[in-house]
């Protein structure tokens, strides 16, 4: 395994982070335990979860993934061996079954306290805001369209003050953002710098061969401001394994169970995936390993969040850490990207 530190901290994390959002839906608790055992054995010390997991989010399965991780901590005693990240759900219809008061002081305290109980721990290493309260283009929406009737007031300062109180209580160590855009990222940093408030040290956004939009203004912010990307969906919902093209997807594969998750399955994305598959096969590697190795070694990446529904997939994904792509492979990848850029934003 290779390691780095969370930006502006001495917290050591593996360059591969274990994603957990299938546990409690696609995967059982025992399967989640086995995945955590394997990941830790292979040197992964960074786990990412969220209060709304597993996905799709429902009232019936709400927070089941956190409970599974907490049960594993209780069984194994490994809490202090893991850098643990979780998230408060953002507002919207998708999460109305959780709460409806956004990132208010009451919401943050409720979310943190309940996550701590489920996770069976007294601290969270990295606490993240899962998506913005304001209306912006997230989750596969390509362009920003302003809503002049939006009911939202600029509350970046207030949110950071509330997070500061929780940090001072010892319940969380560091804070980060997720599914955020350049304006929101810079507003948080501005408030931190101006008012000596907690600094967002990481941003968790989608990034893969099929979605490289982070390489625009966000990459410059990440590098110049030292706010590390925790890349999620580096396998594009499993599309970049090639299993859907080859027809080898298992019955519990995400897009078979939840076909509405079609963000990475459009015509152009499928064509790009076919071309990436050929590059990988021409260089005697799996598409999954090429796709993950590409993400891991981008200069703005702090950690690459991988997930799997089987131990075989998980082992292959973690082992991608040992692959370094040659200049020839990178050129071939970028040639495809130049012709078919970001087919799944």
**Given the residues 3, 53, 188, 232, the one annotated as active site:** 53
The pair of three-digit structure tokens given for residue 280, joined into one six-digit string: 């990988």
Please count the other Cβ atoms lying within 10 Å of the Cβ belonging to residue 138: 17
Instruction: Please report, to the nearest 10 degrees, the dihedral formed by the alpha carbons of residues 261, 267, 273, 275 taken in order.
Output: 180
Q: CA–CA separation, 78 vs 288, rounded Å?
A: 29
Angle, nearest 10°, between helix axes 156-168 and 182-195?
A: 60
Check: CB of residue 193 under 8 Å from CB of residue 247: no
Residue written as token pair 């990412």: 48
Separation between Cα atoms, residue 43 and residue 41, nearest integer Å: 6
Residue 70 backbone phi and psi in degrees, to 5: -60, -40
Confirm whether 276 is a catalytic residue. no
Q: Judge contact between 323 and 289, C-beta under 8 A.
A: yes
- Annotated catalytic sites, by residue? 53
């Amino acid at each position: 395994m290779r390691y780095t530190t969370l930006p502006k901290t001495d917290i050591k994390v593996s360059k591969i982070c274990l994603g957990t959002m299938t546990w409690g839906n696609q995967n059982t608790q025992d399967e989640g335990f086995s995945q955590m055992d394997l990941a830790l054995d292979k040197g992964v010390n960074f786990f990412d979860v969220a209060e709304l997991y597993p996905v799709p989010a429902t009232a019936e399965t709400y927070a089941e993934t956190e409970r599974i991780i907490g049960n594993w901590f209780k069984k194994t005693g490994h809490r202090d061996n893991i850098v643990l990240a979780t998230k408060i759900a953002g507002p919207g219809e998708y999460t109305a079954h959780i709460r409806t008061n956004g990132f208010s002081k009451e919401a943050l305290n409720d979310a943190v306290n309940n996550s701590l109980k489920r996770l069976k721990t007294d601290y969270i290493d990295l606490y993240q805001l899962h998506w913005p309260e304001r209306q912006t283009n997230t989750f596969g929406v390509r362009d920003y369209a302003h809503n002049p009737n939006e009911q939202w007031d600029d509350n970046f300062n207030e949110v950071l003050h509330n997070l500061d109180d929780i940090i001072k209580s010892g319940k969380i160590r560091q804070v980060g953002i997720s599914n955020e855009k350049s304006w929101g990222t810079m507003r948080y940093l501005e408030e931190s710098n101006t008012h000596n408030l907690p600094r967002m040290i990481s941003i968790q956004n989608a990034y893969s061969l099929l979605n490289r939009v982070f390489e625009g203004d966000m990459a410059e912010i990440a590098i110049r401001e030292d706010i590390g990307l925790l890349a999620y969906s580096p396998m594009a919902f499993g599309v970049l394994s090639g299993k859907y093209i080859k027809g080898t997807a298992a019955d519990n594969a995400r897009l078979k169970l939840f076909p509405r998750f079609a963000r990475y399955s459009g015509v152009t994305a499928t064509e790009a995936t076919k071309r990436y598959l050929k590059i990988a096969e021409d260089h005697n590697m799996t598409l999954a390993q090429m796709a993950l190795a590409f993400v891991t070694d981008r200069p703005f990446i702090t950690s690459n969040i991988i997930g799997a529904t089987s131990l075989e997939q998980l082992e292959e994904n973690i082992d991608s850490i040992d692959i370094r792509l040659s200049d020839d492979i990178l050129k071939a990848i970028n040639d495809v990207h130049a012709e078919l850029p970001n087919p799944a934003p």
